Every structure is written in C-alpha cells, then in structure tokens.
Amino acid sequence: MFTTIDHPAIACYDTATQIEWYCRVLEMKVIARNELTPPTALVGYITGGTVIELMPVRVQEPKPDAHHRWAPGLRHLALRVDDFDKAYAKLKSLGVEFIAEPQAAIGGGKIVSFRDPEGNELQIVQR
C-alpha cells in the first residue's frame, strides 16, 4: 500500500531565494510551482522521484538553526551523491559553510552537514 516517500516540505521565509539556491547550489530543477506571491515550488532531480516542497512561512517562529540539532523532530535532509569528494569541493567553492568536517556515514561511506541560507540542516552522503 505505501510505496515511497514523495516529499518533505520546508517552510521558507523567502521562497524565491530558497528555490534559486536549491537549483543553483544543489543542481535541482523546479518540477512544479504555483503562481502565488510568495510562491510554493517542488524542486528535485529529474532522475529521482522524491522532491522537496519549498513553501512560504505562515507562522513566524525561530529560524531552524535556533533549534539544537539533537532536539525532537525532523533535523536534516540528506542528499545522496555519487562522488562525495567532488560534491564536497563544489559546495565549498560556492561558499557553503559546513557544520563539521566530513565523517564516516552509518552503513559506510562519507557524510557532511551544512545549512541552506535559512538555516535548514542538509547533508551530502555517499554510501
């Protein structure tokens, strides 16, 4: 009955800026969007089925990086890469600031955490 994860959603203070960043830095494409201001969009990779919904904030709360990374709730979104070193170098060249140094991933491979412009924690992982 249940087959896969369709999408997580990230509420954004500035959806237009977030959409642009996810496309430019993480090489995602806009899969769908509405024509509202501010917009809501689904971004992702053409080859994969899972997308991320970037939607406008409607309740002003502390930014995501104000919460401890080990606090309850969804804490990060991991993006699988096929060449960790190349992806890590690209993110560094684009000025992405990392939370820590790369480390071993659970199940093997490498993983590193960073934040998007609004403070949401993301990771790249190669297994």
- Whether the model clears a pTM of 0.85, i.e. scores above it, the answer is yes
Query: Would 77 be classed as within a structural domain?
Result: yes
Range of the domain at 46: 1-58
pLDDT one-digit tens code per residue, 36-73: 999 999 999 987 788 999 999 998 877 777 777 777 77
CATH label of the domain that carries residue 106: 3.10.180.10
Among 39, 58, 77, residue at a domain's last position: 58
pLDDT of 115 strictly over 90? yes
Pair (73, 38) in one structural domain: no
State the Cα–Cα distance between residues 47 and 28, nearest whole angstrom: 10
Tokens of 125: 């992982």
Whole-number pLDDT of residue 75: 83
Pair (20, 1) in one structural domain: yes
pLDDT of 103 strictly over 90? yes
